Amino acid sequence: MQTTVLNIVGMSDAEKAQAVAATLQAMAGVSAINITTTRGQAEIKYDGAVVSPQILADQLSRAGYPAQPEGASSGSCCGGCCGG
């Protein structure tokens, strides 16, 4: 199992946090979710052989909650191939 943190735009209350959690829980490879609405973050435990942080973020974005892995910025690489 691996762990990632996603920064999620617009997850400001319990109802939205539940929708985010439901979206993530429905995904194959996700085993645990811990959401912090005050920070707009979700910590996710997942099987890296099944899903990646970018796939998790993309799925949330499609569900109406723009998300990106913590530490990532627009236009930068994920660091997977170059470590940076």
pLDDT score, position 71: 79
- 3-class secondary structure for the chain? CEEEEEEECCCCCHHHHHHHHHHHHCCCCEEEEEEECCCCEEEEEECCCCCCHHHHHHHHHHCCCCEEECCCCCCCCCCCCCCC
Q: What is the pTM of this model?
A: 0.79
pLDDT score, position 11: 87
Q: Any idea which fold 2-69 has?
A: Alpha-Beta Plaits (3.30.70)
Taking the chain (84 residues) in consecutive chunks of 10 residues, what is each chunk's mean pLDDT?
A: 94 91 96 94 96 96 93 55 49
